[in-house]
Amino acid sequence: MSYPSGGYPSYGPEPWQQRSWDWRAAGNFIGGGAGSGLIVFAALSGASGIARAALVLAGLALVGLGLFCVALELGRPLRALNVFRNPWTSWMGREAWTGMLLFPAGLAAVWGVPGLAWAAAALALVFVYCQARLVQAARGIPAWREPLLVPLLLATGLAEGGGLFFASAPWHRTGTLSLLLGFGALVLARILVWLAYRRRLAGVAAGGTGAALDSAGRVLQLAGTLAPLALVAAIALGAVSGATTAWVAAVAGLAAALAGAYTKLTLITGAGFNQGFTLAHLPVRGVRAK
């Protein structure tokens, strides 16, 4: 693939890597997914007082940081307000409106309004779902249009949020064994969806998509799955006990969260190859098309 002096690809039948979304767009999906997952785990844990406030605020901060990354990508930031105009047909619009509801609900949960922690968790789930559908709506990119990408991004966001929850376990100490096992189940579900997703793309991956996904897959399997599951199993089986438990859970959570973030970065940047296009009938001068 060659690039002219302006830096834009010379489009043709061969796949080319998209340049519209870069690390800033990936930052939106990383922050939005991890922050939403953290808010969900804060509600599931039953944390209260300062612990709940800190966890929910951290989740909202990650979501806000992700949205700020998108603002950095805009040439005219004030035009971002146009995204609120069309939530009926745009997943980006639905993401924006859900975010507008998520922040006040989250702040009300921080304030201690009864029931708002669960409302914020529900909105967080809708937010990460909108993000997943937003990526999957890009029909020209095989790695993005695959339907399994939606459950993959949902599982990744929740696993990242759970990972951050347990990464901070030595401080808040509100996690339970059942919640830790639920986190382990999410990590396992994520890798199973990833393997199915990768298998579906085996015959249709464009350009360097396959190599990028395989690189991310190795990180996700080893650092993001095997290591956290081994540590969770050690805690569940009683091989770790006492004050060490929270620190072992923290390492497991951090590994799962970082591997998920790297996978999303690869999906948006390294694996974002357009499929190219095919001309079934080439025009020939002097020959009438059939």
Question: What digits encode the pLDDT tens for the residues 2-57?
Answer: 344 444 454 556 677 788 888 999 999 999 999 999 999 999 999 889 999 999 99
**Residue 89 domain boundaries:** 23-270
Side chain identity at residue 179, one-letter code: L
Q: How many domains is the chain built from? A: 1
Classify residue 148: in a domain, yes or no.
Answer: yes
Question: What digits encode the pLDDT tens for the residues 101-142?
Answer: 999 999 999 998 989 999 999 999 999 999 999 999 888 888
Q: How many other β-carbons are positioned within 10 Å of the β-carbon of residue 132? A: 24
Classify residue 1: in a domain, yes or no.
Answer: no
Q: Which of 212, 62, 32, 190 is nearest to 126 (CA)?
A: 32
Question: What digits encode the pLDDT tens for the residues 59-75?
Answer: 999 999 998 888 777 66
Determine contact, residues 205/142, Cβ cutoff 8 Å. Answer: yes
Q: Which of 225, 226, 227, 196 is nearest to 213 (CA)?
A: 196
Classify residue 18: in a domain, yes or no.
Answer: no
- The CA-based dihedral angle spanning residues 81, 160, 214, 193, taken in that order and rounded to the nearest 10 degrees: -100
pTM given for the model: 0.87
Three-class SS of residue 156?
Answer: helix
Classify residue 287: in a domain, yes or no.
Answer: no
Which CATH number characterizes residue 143's domain? Answer: 1.20.1630.10
H-type helices in 148-238, by residue range?
A: 149-167, 169-172, 177-200, 209-221, 227-236
Determine contact, residues 182/44, Cβ cutoff 8 Å. Answer: yes
